[in-house]
Structure 1
Amino acid sequence: MSVTVEERGKPNTQDYRVFFKNSEGKYISPFHDIPIYANEAQNIFHAVVEVPRWTNAKMEIATKDALNPLKQDVKKGNLRYVANVFPHRGYIWNYGAIPQTWEDPNHKDSDTGCCGDNDPIDICDIGNKVCSRGEVIKVKVLGTLALIDEGETDWKVIVINAEDPEAGDFNDIDDVRRIKPGYLEATVDWFKTYKVPDGKPENQFGFNGEFKDRDFAIKTVKSTHEFWKALVSKATSTGELNCMNTSVSNSPFFCSAADADAVVKSAPALGAEDPIPSSVNKWFYYEK
């Protein structure tokens, strides 16, 4: 799917937003309007890159905002940046989400015993390319890690960009162990410790931190797609989530192109970026 982005506001500030347009130049929601499948028969999915590899700004799909642009997470009134916990620098994959999925906070997962985190399902792209913010890529699912984040199930699906030169060599989670030894261990370590510099305890995992295979991961992704269908059709409570969309014609949240234009035009025009705080480059050593 051909998608372009439009930045609004001042980068590195709380009013910065990244809106999405389709190939016709119409504004869309990356949460609701980008199809989950790039090729359903081959289980190739679309993924929205929120955070490019090696960067620190915790950008995310704004699930509670109209049209769900990307924005930077805010905690305690400050923009959120992930810490550099030795030996890692920023995010160690292209990090993002699969559109048209939703981890239902009212559904208790039978495997983890915890409810969903109220977000689209997350992906970690292990491909060689460093993607750009807002880029939409086609991905092969390889496996998944069950992060338990403050009592919620937060699946981390390991994928590879389907257009990566090595994509043909990766078909399951064991291929990652074989071809990129240490990468999965580094992934567990990253998710376990990335909040420790903020004064929080280590994160926990389902399945004792073991990765589940491709089939399990695909089943999990597809189940979150079913939860999304219920969400966007109003068959389940949306809570604070914004389900405004421009393409799901049977959705009660379907809006006109003019309505979508109005949302974007109400955001501040793109301005000069603010400097990133020098503290973002600080390194932390955590003795486990």
Structure 2
Amino acid sequence: MKKGNLRYVANVFPHKGYIWNYGAIPQTWEDPNHKDSDTGCCGDNDPIDICDIGNKVCSQGEIIKVKVLGTLALIDEGETDWKVIVINTEDPEAADFNDIDDVRRLKPGYLEATVDWFKRYKVPDGKPENQFAFNAEFKDRDFAIKTIKSTNEFWKALISKRTNAGELNCMNTSVSDSPFCCSAADADAVVKSARALGEQDPIPSSVDTWFYYEM
């Protein structure tokens, strides 16, 4: 949701919607109070995002196991917003991909398209182009794994209440030593208190609008 409405991504020519499966890595958190030593910007208060370059188009909410290949450091409105490039381990081509150079070699143009997509996708909303750390160069697998591990440590601090959660709701049923851990009955009560699903809203025709602008 964004401003009370379902959020759709704009089609900035030549990209129609997302160009990969877009998701996130659980148990990671980009701490908005921590300035990253590499990017010089604080985190965006979200889990780390992933771009799965596999051939399967995943369903919303689907959970998959992935192989980490590299990462891109997006600076989104002044915040560090890592984009980790991965491939589904069940993809028939997964064995051929082990690092970011394999993507460059086997899927020519894909990384350049990824930079272009993230650079311009908010422009139709009246926002400026996004910026990147490292001059928009992708970092390799080892760098990406190091980044994932560091954001996992931030998440551990968050879920154990060693850092301020702010407006985040950290209620959970699976981290037994977390002060936010609740009983199954409490979790069930939250689910039952949720508003019942209504009829599906029609997809607005604007979702298919193309946007063009000069570089």
- Normalising by the residue count of structure 1, what TM-score does the alignment of the two structures yield? 0.73
Match in the other structure for 1:55: none
Match in the other structure for 2:111: 184
Q: How big is the shift at 1:268?
A: 2.2
Amino acid at match of 1:81: Y
Q: How big is the shift at 1:120?
A: 0.4
Q: How big is the shift at 1:131?
A: 0.3
CA RMSD of aligned residues (A): 0.8
Determine if the alignment matches structure 1 residue 74 to structure 2 residue 2.
yes
Task: Choose between structure 1 and 2: higher strand proportion.
Answer: 1
What aligned pairs does 1:87-236 form with structure 2 within 5 A after superposition?
87-236=14-163
Amino acid at match of 2:202: P
- Report the 3-state secondary structure (helix = DSSP H, G, I; strand = E; otherwise coil) of the residue aligned with 2:35: coil
- Normalising by the residue count of structure 2, what TM-score does the alignment of the two structures yield? 0.98
Match in the other structure for 2:201: 274
Runs of 4+ off more than 4 Å: none
- Report the 3-state secondary structure (helix = DSSP H, G, I; strand = E; otherwise coil) of the residue aligned with 1:241: coil
Q: 5+ residue gaps in structure 1? A: 1-72
- Once residues 94 and 213 of structure 2 are traced to their aligned partners in structure 1, the CA distance between those partners, rounded to angstroms, is 34
Q: How big is the shift at 1:188?
A: 0.3
- Once residues 179 and 264 of structure 1 are traced to their aligned partners in structure 2, the CA distance between those partners, rounded to angstroms, is 45
- Once residues 209 and 189 of structure 2 are traced to their aligned partners in structure 1, the CA distance between those partners, rounded to angstroms, is 40
Task: Choose between structure 1 and 2: higher helix proportion.
Answer: 2
Report the identity percentage. 88
Q: What are the superposed Cα offsets for residues 42-91 of structure 1, whole Å, 9 maximum, x if unpaired?
A: xxxxxxxxxxxxxxxxxxxxxxxxxxxxxxx313x433211000011111
- Once residues 195 and 263 of structure 1 are traced to their aligned partners in structure 2, the CA distance between those partners, rounded to angstroms, is 34
Amino acid at match of 1:260: A
Q: How big is the shift at 1:248?
A: 0.4
Q: How big is the shift at 1:250?
A: 0.3
Q: How big is the shift at 1:272?
A: 2.3
Q: What are the superposed Cα offsets for residues 215-269 of structure 1, whole Å, 9 maximum, x if unpaired?
A: 0000000100000000000001110111111010000000111111111111122
Q: 5+ residue gaps in structure 2? A: none
- Report the 3-state secondary structure (helix = DSSP H, G, I; strand = E; otherwise coil) of the residue aligned with 1:226: helix
Determine if the alignment matches structure 1 residue 251 to structure 2 residue 178.
yes
